[in-house]
Amino acid sequence: MQTITTIGLDIAKSVFQVHGMDAGGQVIVRRQLKRRYVLTFFRKLSPCLVGIEACGSAHHWSRELQALGHTVRLMPPAYVKPYLKRQKNDATDAEAICEAVTRTNMRFVSTERCTTSTRTGNDICQYRKERSTGTITASIPPSAGFLPASVERLLLARLRHADGL
* pTM tops 0.75, yes or no: no
User: Of 111 and 8, which is predicted with more confidence?
Assistant: 8
List the CATH number of the domain containing 42.
3.30.420.40
pLDDT for residue 120 is more than 70: no
Alpha carbon 67 to chain centroid distance?
15
Q: Are residues 13 and 56 in the same domain?
A: yes
Co-location of 15 and 80 in the same domain? yes
Residue 154 pLDDT: 77
109, part of any domain: no
Q: Does any domain span residue 91?
A: yes
Residues 95 and 16 in one domain: yes
pLDDT in tens, 58-110: 999 999 999 999 999 999 988 888 888 888 878 888 999 999 999 888 888 88
Between residues 52 and 159, the one the model is more confident about: 52
Lowest-pLDDT range of 2-11, 60-69, 126-135: 126-135
The answer to whether the CB of 49 falls within 8 A of the CB of 74 is: no
Tally the domains of the chain.
2
Residue 137 CB partners (closer than 8 Å, separation 6+): none
Within 10 Å of residue 92's Cβ, how many Cβ atoms? 17
Rg (CA), the chain: 19
pLDDT for the residue 151: 74
Residue 67: which domain range? 6-101
